[in-house]
Amino acid sequence: MENSYKNILEKFKKLLKKNELKFTKQREEILEAIYNSKSHISSEELYHSLQNPKIGIATVYRTLSLLESENFVTTFINSGVKQYELTKEHHDHIICNKCGKIEEFLNPEIEMLQEKIASSFGFKITDHSLQMFGICKECQKDNL
Amino acid sequence: MENSYKNILEKFKKLLKKNELKFTKQREEILEAIYNSKSHISSEELYHSLQNPKIGIATVYRTLSLLESENFVTTFINSGVKQYELTKEHHDHIICNKCGKIEEFLNPEIEMLQEKIASSFGFKITDHSLQMFGICKECQKDNL
DNA sequence: GTTCTCTTTGAAAATAGATGTCAATTTAAA
DNA sequence: TTTAAATTGACATCTATTTTCAAAGAGAAC
C-alpha cells in the first residue's frame, strides 16, 4: 500500500467509520495539511496553513488528538514544540540546532540494544524516543 | 570532585560570580531543593517543596532557566512535564508508563552508534536524548 | 558599619498553547 | 427529505511560563 494521498484518505475514512465518527470537510482539510507538510508540522503551522480560514483552532486540536490517539499520526517534541507526522515505519530524528533541519534515520542495532537494556531492567518496552541534536553539514560550513 | 551539597553549592556560587549575579537565599533554597530531590523534579514540585513560602513561582522559573542555560541542570520531558536534574555524567532514561518510575542507564554501544550515524549524515552532535517507555517489572506483576 | 548603585524579588498582569462549553450547523442513516 | 446525533466555531477557561514594576536586598567602595 503506497502512501499516496488517496490511500491516506481512505485509511482516514476507515478510521472514522470504525470510531463512528463523521467525515467532514474540516477533518479532511486538516488531514490534507499534514499530508502536504510532507514531513512534520506543528499545530500552529497547521492552523495557519489551512485554506478555509473559518476552521477554528479547537477543531485543529480536536482532530490532531484524534489522529494521535488512533496512532494515525506520531508526535515528537522539538524545541518545546510538538510536531506531528503521519505514522509510518518507526524512525528516530537528528535535528540541526542552527537551521532546524530534521533528518530521519533508523538503526537496527540501536533498536536491538534498547530491547536488551530494557529487559535487563525487567521492563517491557512499548515505545521510545531518540533525538540527536547538533549542527548539520551546511551550517558547519557557514561558520567559517 | 564528589557531589556533596557543599561542592554543588560552591560550583553554584562560582557560576553566579562568573555571570556577575548575586547570591541570594532564594537561589540557594532552590538549588537545595533540586539537590534534595536526589533525581529529578518538576518546577511545580520544586515550588511546593520550598521551606520559605514567600518565594514566588517566578523566581523558581527564573532560577531554573538560569541553571539550565548554564548547563548546571539538565532537563527532559515526561508526560508533557519538564523535569530538572543536576547535570552529571550523561545518561538516558527508561520510564514506566504505569507507576511513573524512572530508571537511568548508560550504554556505550548506543552512544558510539549515535556518533557513527551522526557522522554519516555529516552532523556534528552536541547532544541527544533517548527515552524508552514501557511497563516495569512490578507493574507487570500487578496486571495478573 | 554606612552608603549607594545595581540586581533581585514577589505579586500581579500578560502571554501562549491547549482544552472545555454550548448554541448553531452539518452529517448520514432511515 | 427528515431527523437524531455528532461536529463545529467562537469564546471562555485553564495551565505553564514569562513579563512588568515598585520595593527590598546584595555587595563593592568607602
pLDDT at A37: 93
Task: Compute the distance between CA of residue A105 and CA of residue A90 in angstroms, rounded to an integer.
Answer: 9
pLDDT at A144: 57
Task: Compute the distance between CA of residue A78 and CA of residue B41 in angstroms, rounded to an integer.
Answer: 21
Cβ separation of B125 and A137 shorter than 8 Å?
Answer: no
Cβ separation of B127 and A133 shorter than 8 Å?
Answer: yes
Q: Which of A87, A124, A115, A111 is nearest to B114 (CA)?
A: A111
Q: Is the CB of A54 under 7 A from strand D?
A: yes
Q: Which grid coordinates are listed for A16?
A: 472514522
Residue B38, SS3 per DSSP:
coil
The beta-carbon neighbor of B123 closest among A122, A126, A135 is A135
Q: Which CA distances in Å does B26 have to B31, B38, B61, B68, B93?
A: 9, 19, 12, 17, 30
> Checking phi first, is residue B33 left (phi over 0); if not, alpha (psi -120 to 50) or beta?
alpha
Q: Is the CB of B22 under 7 A from strand C?
A: yes
| Identity at A25, one-letter amino acid code | K
The angle subtended at Cα A127 by Cα A132 and Cα A40, nearest 5°, is 55
pLDDT at B1: 63
> Smallest CA–CA separation between B99 and chain A, in Å?
12
Residue B105, SS3 per DSSP:
strand
* In the predicted structure, residue A1 carries a pLDDT above the cut 70: no
What domains are defined for chain A? 5-86 (1.10.10.10), 92-142 (3.30.1490.190)
C-beta of residue A83 within 8 angstroms of C-beta of residue A77: yes
pLDDT, tens only, B4-59? 999 999 999 999 999 999 999 999 999 999 999 988 999 999 999 999 999 999 99
Query: What are the backbone dihedrals phi and psi of residue A130, each rounded to the nearest 5 degrees, phi first?
Result: -125, 125
Indicate which of A93, A123, A137, A139 best probes the interface with B, i.e. most B CBs within 10 Å of its own CB: A123
Cβ separation of B132 and A140 shorter than 8 Å?
Answer: no
Gyration radius (Cα) of chain A, Å:
18
The beta-carbon neighbor of A107 closest among B113, B125, B140 is B113
Instruction: Considering only the C-alpha atoms of chain B, give the largest distance between any 2 of them, rounded to a whole number of Å.
Output: 58
Q: Is A9 on the interface with B (CB under 8 A)?
A: no
* In the predicted structure, residue A133 carries a pLDDT above the cut 70: yes
**pLDDT class for A3, splitting at 50, 70, 90?**
confident
Residues 81-100 of chain B with CB under 7 A from strand D are 81-82
**Can you name the residues that pair with B125 across neighbouring β-strands?**
A134
Residues 98-117 of chain A with CB under 7 A from strand C are none
C-beta of residue B39 within 8 angstroms of C-beta of residue B85: yes
Other C-beta atoms lying within 10 Å of the C-beta of residue B4? 10
pLDDT, tens only, A4-37? 999 999 999 999 999 999 999 999 999 999 999 9
Segment B130-134 mean pLDDT: 94
pLDDT, tens only, B86-108? 998 899 999 998 888 899 999 99
